[in-house]
Amino acid sequence: MSENLRVGEVIEASTIGFTAQCYELYEIPPLGSLVKTGDGDTALYAVVSGATTQGIEPGRRPVARGKDEASEEDIYRTSPQLKELLRSEFSALVVGSRQNGRVCHYLAPQPARIHAFVHRCSPEEIRDFSRDFGFLKILLASRFEVSAEELTAAALRQFAGVYSDRRAFLIRAGRELAGLLGGEYGRLRNILERIRE
């Protein structure tokens, strides 16, 4: 099953996150969605924290090609090489791991390996992972181009999708956030506004 959800391969890794290249141009997992590397008893869970699409050669910028084309799709149809010259990458923030079959909401002892396959998590895995909210601390402490609040809200929106009672899940998460952001009402409000149902 996880084969079907395979989205890419790790091309850069550190303890706190990794960057993966998508197998297909533009087939980037949504911001905030839960991905994993590894399989079985040991896996690394990460939340998609940003994505880029650019030319494969750093020095060569793509040029505009659509002046005489009727639609965007036509550009790619008439220039099929584009799919090879461009690539989509996404970065992911490690938010936990599975060790000996148990979900842990803290950083894994080892970073992901280069060329490790990256899979999107199945709904069951997401439910299993978000049974409690330990991962929120890591999300709230993240520093990316995407703000921590934006990322947290995106992740919660993604996770909520696998629950039949979305609202109940978000309320639970909100309460957890209210506890974590005790003295930071402004940040809490920012997130709540983004996950409001």
Partner 1 sequence: MTEDSSPRLGIVVAGSLNKGLDVRLDGSVSVEDIVVGRYVVISGKKQRFFGMLTDISLEVADPAIAFSPPDSADPFAAEVLAGTGTFGLAHILPLLSLGSAATLESGPQPVKTVPGHFSAVRLASQADVELVFGPEDEKRFFIGTPLDMETKICLDLEELVKRSNGIFGKSGTGKTFLTRLLLIGMLQKSKAVNLIFDMHNEYGWEGSSERGHKVKALKQLFPSKVAVFTLDEENSKARRVSTDFVVRIGYDELEPEDIALLRETLGLTEPAVEASYQLARRFGRNWLEKTLSLDDDQEIKDLLAELSIHEGTFQNLRRGLGVIRRLPFMVPQVTEKAVARILEYLGRGINVVLEFGRFRDVAAYVLVANILSRRVYDQYQKRMEEAMGADSARPQPLVITVEEAHKFLSSGVSSQTIFGTIAREMRKYNVTLLVIDQRPSGIDEEVLSQLGTKITCLLDNERDVDAVLAGVPGKSELKTVLSRLESRQQALIFGHAVPMPAPIKIREYGSADSYRSFVSEKDDAKKQAQKDIEELWG
Q: Which residues contact 8 (CB under 8 A, 6 or more apart)?
A: 20, 21, 22, 23, 89, 90, 117, 118
- For residues 113 and 189, which CB has a smaller minimum distance to partner 1 in the complex? 189
The pattern of x and - marking residues 73 through 102 that bind partner 1 according to CB under 8 A reads: ------------------------------
What count of other Cβ atoms lies within 10 Å of the Cβ of residue 96? 22
Cα within 13 Å of Cα(174), Cβ side: 17
Q: Does residue number 62 form part of the binding site for partner 1 (CB under 8 A)?
A: no
- For residues 24 and 132, which CB has a smaller minimum distance to partner 1 in the complex? 132
What count of other Cβ atoms lies within 10 Å of the Cβ of residue 47? 27
Report helix, strand or coil for 23.
coil
Smallest separation, CB 193 to partner 1 (Å):
8
Of the candidates 25, 23, 20, 24, the one whose C-alpha atom is nearest the C-alpha of residue 36 is 20
The pattern of x and - marking residues 158 through 187 that bind partner 1 according to CB under 8 A reads: ---------x--xx--xx-xxx--xxxxx-
Smallest separation, CB 178 to partner 1 (Å):
3
Smallest separation, CB 175 to partner 1 (Å):
5
C-alpha distances (whole Å) from 69 to each of 26, 61, 64, 65, 76 are 20, 20, 11, 8, 10
The pattern of x and - marking residues 18 through 57 that bind partner 1 according to CB under 8 A reads: ----------------------------------------
- Cα–Cα distance measured from residue 120 to residue 122, given in angstroms and rounded to the nearest whole number: 7
List residues binding partner 1 (CB under 8 A): 167, 170-171, 174-175, 177-179, 182-186, 188-189, 192-193, 196-197
